Amino acid sequence: MSRARWLAPVVAFVALAFLVAVLPSFISAFRAQQLAYVAIYLIALIGLNVLTGYTGQISLGHGAFMAIGGYTTAILIADHGVKDIWTIPIAGILTGVVGFLFGIPALRLSGLYLALATFAIAVSMPAVIKRFEGFTGGGSGINLFGLPDLTASLTPVTVLGRELTFNDWLYYLCWTIALVGYVVAWLLLRGRTGRAFRAVRDSETAAQSSGVSLPKYKTLAFGVSAAYAGVAGSLFAIATTFVNPDTFPIALSILLLVGVVVGGLGSLVGLIAGAVFIQFLPIWSQEVSKSPGAPAIVSGVVLIALMFVLPMGFAGLLARVRTLTKR
Amino acid sequence: MADFMQQVVVGLSSGSIYASLALALVLIHRATGVINFAQGEMATLSTYIAWTLTTNHGWSYWPAFAFTLIASFVGGVAIHQGVIRPNEKGSVLRVVIVTIGLLLAINGLVTLIWSGEVRAVPSPFPTRTIEIGGVAISIQDIGTIGVVLATVVVLWLMFQYTKVGLAMRAAAVNPAEARLVGVRVTWMLSLGWGLAAVLGAISGMLAAPSVFLDPNLMAALLIYAFAAAVLGGIDSPIGAVVGGLVLGVGLNLLGTYVDFVGADLRLPGALLVILVVLLVKPSGIFGKTEVKRV
Amino acid sequence: MSNPSVLLRLDGVEARYGPVQALRGISLEVPEGSVVAVLGANGAGKTTTLRAVSGTVRRSGSIEFAGKPLHGGPEAVARAGIAHVPEGRGTFTELTVVENLRLGAYTRRERNLDSDIDRVSKWFPWIPDRAQQPAGTLSGGEQQMLAVARALMARPRLLMLDEPSLGLAPMIVREIFRIVRELNEREGLTVLVVEQDARIALQTASTAYVLEVGRVAVSGPSDELKENESVRRSYLGY
């Protein structure tokens, strides 16, 4: 890549990181918490984008992967006294392995069938969680609030000389991981792996005849995307300080897919917009009208309108702006 | 034995409801290649319309039923022309998101107009039972099976023996070539959506008397319908019907005779069916295994 | 006032596929009752020319059919009386032979098509025996003939054939062109045929246009083109 092309994204990224770093000083604790959730969704979306945007495999079940990550963290903290931060990579790796293993039978399914299979898994996840009560705490879930291993939950924690309350700590934790995850994904997708992924999406038969091993890359994509979702789920559990079977419903899986499409498939940049969208759309819809059912109507209409106006998602809008400013 | 037959009939009755909705899903998938996630909500809306006509406006049942079918047909056509068609040229995901948006919007609309209260819906069929060969069978079950069967037969006749039916089939399998012989393909697809809406409405109106009417009426039913469609083959209308009936009977028998399963593991049962079928033979019982053209 | 005996006239027709310009100004005339061939190498724009007429691809420039401007997509063009048999036959392989034929007559209002099916079966006598078979079970040559039969069901004024010889054995190709010639001589059917196989096309057509990179390079009566050795070598490959 020529230096000019390479410079712009790096500058933008650094600016973003800077913004993220200083923002909490200017916003309320409540907002900080909301933005922490944006980061969590962003992590999940990065993962889902690798799967759907890059290899073209549709998943309606990433909420289930988040559930695995979330419950891993919750069980490790509550039952085994593991410090919350250490549970995050464990959750990520575990979920990644599960995702990779799922990717193997998923090789036989394409498009719609894969979507239905992942949908079925996501819908059945709450029931499965309830079934293994002894392990997961069943319907009553696992409570993390007040546990000493949950950083900053009882007393503020000191990081780099600053005292952080829970919401601010959460914000920085989630965004640090999100930004790191972003860079990792960017590096992964730039190189040979990314090209292989895209080859799989564009034409499986062509990719195969050029020597791209379909099973390897498709399962790898599943593993990577699941790992991201697992990390997101882990952070989600830490953020909500509580998990039960309804923490990760089918609506979450659908929301994630919406986020990736609205953000713009195959592009990392739009995903931030996608994450903001899925965090704030329900809130904004409520502000339009509180009558029962009205927020749902607003959300639905906005979704439909977006597909008309921005068929390529926010990433498409950005691309258009970029071509306009080049002239 | 009598008990068994009874359970089979009950299973066939709920199975026909699944079959009807599954047929709607298959119709739309065959024609437009899309899974309409809003199919259930559209059916719920239709059912509310029927309910409101009979309860709040004093219509008698069958006229309200007929009116609802017509309204549903028009609604289905309108949704395809207005919202789906402009997005058809894009990726499949775009249309999926649109149907998800429709799901939200229609669900919200229903809640807004009629509130989330659960309502009792009268059945068009008398609730008593009759005896056939020593087995007590409810008239409602027979009526349900009868209505769905009649609908399926009428549809089949239309597809096989009418010009429009032939045009719709052609438009579904080969839209480009269909255009060359003069078929207005887009309208044929809209027709498909209209018919699917009618099938959904029938499902809803038949299900409501037993499961009561509230905005989430069809959510669970949609999943059973998915299971039935996957089991039978997502592109096979016969498969949808057979799949629905098999699923209905199977789940009912499992729930009755296998203690472990019980009543509230029916939904996971259906989901398990989806997963197993997709693992073993994704194209379902009647589906053709896809041949990839290089 | 255009010459009334010209059934189809293209004037400066351009068409593109995205950024690629496929037709750069095609002008040709198809007189009523004649067979006209469009020849040229792969990628010269032959198929695109037919697509431009049938409205399958967006185009600019003027197209007149029976003296009136021709607009709209394939559905409208079919209704105007043009039958387009596309590349690869375009038979509905999942439908039966007779269902394919019925679809051919879609634009006509007759309810009873039996006499039409009889009429068409005279040209392809094997059809009644295979009426209920799915079209996909027919051989390539039979599918090509079925596609022509289907086109005839519409009683078109103009029949457009796109590469009828594609993938077929020489004997079958000769048979198909024989039928085309007879349809033209006995029933006066106007035919516009796009072909890779220039030799057989020139035997059947009265006039030919040779395309090269989206333009008409050479045109004229087939006899002249056949005799002209340099034309044959440079454009027709033999």
In this prediction, the residues of chain B whose per-residue pLDDT falls under 50 are 291-294
User: What pLDDT does A326 receive?
Assistant: 66
Percent of chain A at pLDDT exceeding 90: 22
User: What pLDDT does B172 receive?
Assistant: 87
User: What pLDDT does C77 receive?
Assistant: 94
CA–CA distance, A25 with A190 (Å, rounded to integer): 35
In the structure, what pLDDT confidence band is assigned to residue A92 with cuts at 50, 70 and 90? very high
CB-based contact, C64 to chain B, within 8 Å = no
Mean pLDDT for the stretch of residues A98-119: 84
User: What pLDDT does A65 receive?
Assistant: 95
The pairing of beta strand C190-194 with beta strand C158-162: parallel
Nearest chain C CA: its distance from B162 CA (Å): 10
In-domain check, residue B89: yes
CB-based contact, C114 to chain B, within 8 Å = no
CB-based contact, B262 to chain A, within 8 Å = no
CB-based contact, C102 to chain B, within 8 Å = yes
Average pLDDT, chain A: 84
Q: In angstroms, how far is CA A272 from the centroid of its own chain?
A: 10
CB-based contact, C134 to chain B, within 8 Å = no
Q: pTM for this structure?
A: 0.85
ipTM for the complex shown: 0.88
User: What pLDDT does B291 receive?
Assistant: 47
In the structure, what pLDDT confidence band is assigned to residue C101 with cuts at 50, 70 and 90? very high
Task: Quote the radius of gyration of chain A (alpha carbons, Å).
Answer: 20
Higher pLDDT, B116 or C113: C113
User: What pLDDT does B60 receive?
Assistant: 86
Side-chain-side CA neighbours of residue B100 (13 Å): 24
pLDDT over 60 (residue A327): no
In-domain check, residue B14: no
- Residue whose token pair is 């066939």: B12
Q: Do C90 and B173 touch (CB under 8 A)?
A: no
In-domain check, residue B153: yes
In 3D space, the residue among C173, C208, C181, C40 whose CA is nearest the CA of residue C123 turns out to be: C181
User: What pLDDT does A95 receive?
Assistant: 95
CB-based contact, B228 to chain A, within 8 Å = no
User: What pLDDT does B290 receive?
Assistant: 54
In-domain check, residue B257: no
The total number of structural domains that make up chain B: 1
Nearest chain C CA: its distance from B234 CA (Å): 17
Percent of chain C at pLDDT exceeding 70: 98
Choose the mutation target among C50, C87, C103, C112 for the interface with B, i.e. most B CBs under 10 Å: C103
User: What pLDDT does B293 receive?
Assistant: 37
Residue B48: phi, psi to the nearest 5? -65, -40
In-domain check, residue B45: yes
pLDDT tens digits, one per residue of B222-257:
889 989 998 988 888 889 999 999 999 988 888 777
pLDDT over 70 (residue A116): yes
Q: Do A307 and B230 touch (CB under 8 A)?
A: no
In-domain check, residue B195: yes
User: What pLDDT does B170 receive?
Assistant: 92
DSSP A153-218: SSS-EEETTEEE-HHHHHHHHHHHHHHHHHHHHHHHHHSHHHHHHHHHHH-HHHHHHTT--HHHHH
Set of chain C residues whose Cβ sits within 8 Å of the Cβ of B170: 92, 95, 103
pLDDT tens digits, one per residue of A52-71:
877 778 888 899 999 999 99
Other chains touching A, judged by 3 or more CB pairs under 8 Å: B
CA–CA distance, A158 with A150 (Å, rounded to integer): 14
Across A85-122, b (16+ Cβ under 10 Å) vs e yields eebbebbbbbbbebbbebbeebeebbebbbbbbbbbbb
Higher pLDDT, B170 or A195: B170
Q: Chain C: residue nearest B184 by CA?
A: C75
Nearest chain B CA: its distance from A122 CA (Å): 10
User: What pLDDT does A291 receive?
Assistant: 82
In-domain check, residue B280: no
User: What pLDDT does A180 receive?
Assistant: 92
Instruction: Determine the structural domain holding residue B134 and report its residue range.
Output: 20-216
Interchain touch A–C (≥3 Cβ pairs closer than 8 Å): no
In-domain check, residue B68: yes
